[in-house]
Chain A
Amino acid sequence: MSFSWARPYEPKHPVARWIDERLPLPRLVYGAIGGGYPVPRNLNYWWNFGVLAGIFLTIQIVTGIVLAMHYYASIDGAFNSVNQLIMRDVSAGWLLRYAHMNGASFFFIVTYIHIFRGLYYGSYKAPRELVWMLGLVIYLLMMATAFMGYVLPWGQMSYWGAQVITGFFSAFPMVGEPLRIWILGGYAPDQAALTRFFSLHYLLPFVIAGVVVLHIWALHIPGSSNPTGVDVKDEKDTLPFHPFYTAKDGWFAAAVLLVYALVTYFAPNYLGHPDNYIPANPLATPAHIVPEWYFWPFYAILRSCTFNLFWIDAKLWGVLAMFGSILLLFFLPWIDRSPVRSGAYRPVFKRFFWLLVVDIVILGYVGGAPITPFNAALGQLAAAYYFLHFLVILPLVSAFETPLPLPNSISESVLHGEAAESAPAGQASGPGSVAVATAE
C-alpha cells in the first residue's frame, strides 16, 4: 500500500510461506484487511458502514443462492413457489426469504448511511474521486438488482412496479417505446420479462462484488479518509486495520445484525407492502403503486414534475429529473471545490448538509405516501431544493465559505498531548500541542 510504514506480510508457518511464494493471495488479504493496511486512528462509527455493506452483500448472495434453488421463474408458479413452497414447505425457507427480503432493506440502510458519511466528510474529494464514482456505480447496480428482485415473487406490486419502472423508458421520444418493449420482451411484463429479470437478478450481485473489489482497491491507494479530513502524515496517525478496526467492526457488526434480526424475526413484513401478497393481476391496478421504501425519494422526484416546459413533456421531465438526481452525484468531486474535506470544519456547508438530509427524508415521505395536493406541493418544493442544493448552493458555498482552522495532524487532534509525552525528553513541543482541534 501507499504508506511506507505499512507492515509487510511475513508468513510464520512454512505452509503459509510455501503458498505465498507461489500465489501471494495471503499477502493480498493481509495488505487489504489485515495488519498491513494502516488506517487513520481517529475514525468514528460512521466509518463502520462500508464493512457492513459488504456483510449485507454477502448475506444477500448466500440467502439468494439458496432461495434460487427453490424458486420457479414462471408467471404461473413464481407466486406459489415463494408463498407456498419456500414459506411453508422448504425447511427454514421462511427464514431464508425473510432474511433476503429484509437483507435488501438493511443493505440499503447501511449503504445510505455510508453515502451520507461520504457527503458530510467530503470523502468524494481528491484523491478519492474514483472511490466515490465506483461507489455510485455499486449503488446503481444495487438499485437495478433490488428492483428486479422485487419483481420475482410476481405479486401485485411486483407486476405493477415492473410496469411503472420500465414505463420510464417510454418517456424518451422516438426510441422510448421500442426500447421498453425490447427490455420487457413484450408489450407488458410477462414470462419473458420475469425470466430475464431472474437471470439478471442472479448475475448483478456478482457484478456488484466485482465493483466492490475495484472500490476497495481504489480506496487503498490514498487510504481511508477520516473525520478531520486531514491527510495522514506519519505512522502516529494510523493504526493497523487488524486488530484495531477488525475489533471495532466486529462488535458493531454484531450490534447491527441484532437490529436486523429483530426486524427479520419479529416484524418481517414491516418494510414491505401488503399488496405484494396478492398474486399479480394485469387487469387490476392497485390503488397506490409504490416502490420499495429505498426508492421513495426518487419516486417523489419522478412524480413531482407535472409541468410541460419547452418541447419536453412532464413525464420526460420527471424521468430526466429522476435519473439526473443520481447522475449529478458523479460530478460532486468537481462541484464542491472547497479544499477542506470534512464538514466538521465547514460551518455553512454543515448547515446545508443537514438541510439536505431533511429534504431527502421529506422526499422519501412524499414518495411513499398517497398523492394529495399537500403532498404533491411538498414534494415539488423538496425536489427543487435537491437540485438547487447540489448544483447551485454547493458550488457557491464552496467558493465563499471560510472554513474553520484545521488541526495540524490526525494524531494532534486525538492524542491530546500524548505525542508530546512520548517524545524523547527535552524535545517535546510543550503544552501548546495539547490543544484540541483548533491548533494552527
Chain B
Amino acid sequence: MRWILGLIGTVFAAVLLLSFLSGITAYFQNPPAPLASDEFHREPKELHLASDGPFGKFDKQQLQRGFQVYKEVCSACHSMKLVSFRDLKGIGYSDAEVKAIANQWQTEVPSINPDTGEPATRKALPSDTFPAPFANDTAARAGNNNALPPDLSLITKAREGGASYVYSLLTGFQNEPADLLKKFPDAKTPTGLHYNPYFANLNIAMPPPLTSDGQVQYQDGTKPTVDQMARDVAAFLVWTAEPNLENRHAAGIAVVIFLLFGAILGYLAYQQVWAEAKRKVRVTGALEPKNQAKSRRAKAKQGVAG
C-alpha cells in the first residue's frame, strides 16, 4: 500500500511541478503587462477617530456633524437601509429632534393610499429606516450614469481600510497624474468617471461630493473644510456600521478583566493541585546537596525512611 500511496503522491507532485514549470515558462516568455492600478493605486491615508482602540468611544458632536453631511450631501444618492431614525438617539438627538428629522426627511416613505389602495407616500416616522433616494436599483442606475451608489449602512465594514478608506476616497479626487498618462496612454480616465487613486481601479463613477469648504453649515462652530467634512462623515459611517461599538468595548473590558482574574486564580489552583505530584527537583541536579536536602525534607514529610 505504501508503494501505491507513494506513486499517487509522486503523480500529484508531478502535476504541481509541471504546473509550476509551465507557469514560469509562460511568465518569462510572455511577461504580464503592468497595470496602471498596480502602480498608482494608493493605500488609505491614516485617520484617527475617537472610536478607535479598545477604549474608544464615539465623539457625538462629530457624529452629528457627520450625520449632517450625510443628510445634506450623501443621501441625495446613497441609501442607508439598515439604520432607523430612532437609532439617531444613540448619537445624542432627543425624541423630539428625531421626530422632526424623520418628518422633514427629503424623501418620503412608500405607502398606499388608505382609501383607494393606490401607491402613495407618507412622511417618515422615527420607527422607519431612512427612505432610499431611489425607488429601486434600476432607478438609481438610471440617475447615476449607470453606476449604482452603494448603500452606506455598512460601508466602513464592507471596504478594506474602513473609515480611513472613506475619508481617503472623499478627499482623494484629483487630476490624473501626467506620469500615469505617459506610462499608460490607454489608462486615460473615461468620460463620466473621475480619477481617484484610492479607488481600486483608479476611476470612480461618483463625482467629487465634497467640493468646497463651507458646503455644509455646522452649528457647533467647527470650520467645515472639505477635510473636516470627510472626517466627520467617515466617523458617522463607523457608527452606522457598528452602533453597538461602545457597548462592545465596555463589555469587552469587563470580560477581559474577569477572565484575567479567572485565569490567575485557576493557575494558582493548578499550582496547588500539582504541588505534590511535581516536586521541583531539578533535572540536572537531583544529587546536588541542595536538592538532596530538599528530597530529605520531602521524605521526612511523607514519612518515608531515608
Contact = CB atoms under 8 A, between A and B. Distances in A.
A248 B259 contact: no
B144 to A, nearest CB: 16
Contacts, number: 197
Interface string B148-184: 0010011001111010000000000000000000000
Contacts of B96: none
A262 B256 CA distance: 7
Interface in A414-440: 414, 416-418, 421-422, 424-425, 431, 434, 436
B135 interface: no
Contacts of B283: 416, 436
B82 A84 contact: yes
Contacts of A402: none
A321 B12 contact: yes
Interface string A238-280: 0100011001101110110110011011101100001101100
Contacts of A88: 82, 87, 243-244
Interface string B80-108: 01100001000000000000000000000
Contacts of A304: 16, 19
Most chain-A Cβ atoms within 10 A of its Cβ — which of B11, B14, B19, B286?
B19
B299 A277 contact: no
Given A254-B266, A262-B256, A416-B282, A335 B2 contact: yes
B142 interface: no
Give chain A's interface secondary structure class.
helix
B122 to A, nearest CB: 21
Contacts of B302: 422
Interface stretch (A111-119, A168-176, A343-351, A380-388): A380-388
A258 B9 contact: no
A41 B277 contact: yes
Interface residue range, chain B = 35 or more
Interface stretch (A4-12, A62-70, A126-134, A389-397): A389-397
A305 B5 contact: no
A381 B14 CA distance: 10
B82 A287 contact: no
Interface residues of A, number: 73
Nearest to A431: B287
A377 B25 CA distance: 11
Contacts of B267: 251, 255
Interface of A: 41, 80, 83-84, 87-88, 94-95, 98, 239, 243-244, 247-248, 250-252, 254-255, 257-258, 261-262, 264-266, 268-269, 274-275, 277-278, 287, 304-307, 309, 314, 317, 320-321, 324, 328, 331, 334-335, 337, 373, 376-377, 380-381, 383-385, 387-388, 390-392, 395, 414, 416-418, 421-422, 424-425, 431, 434, 436
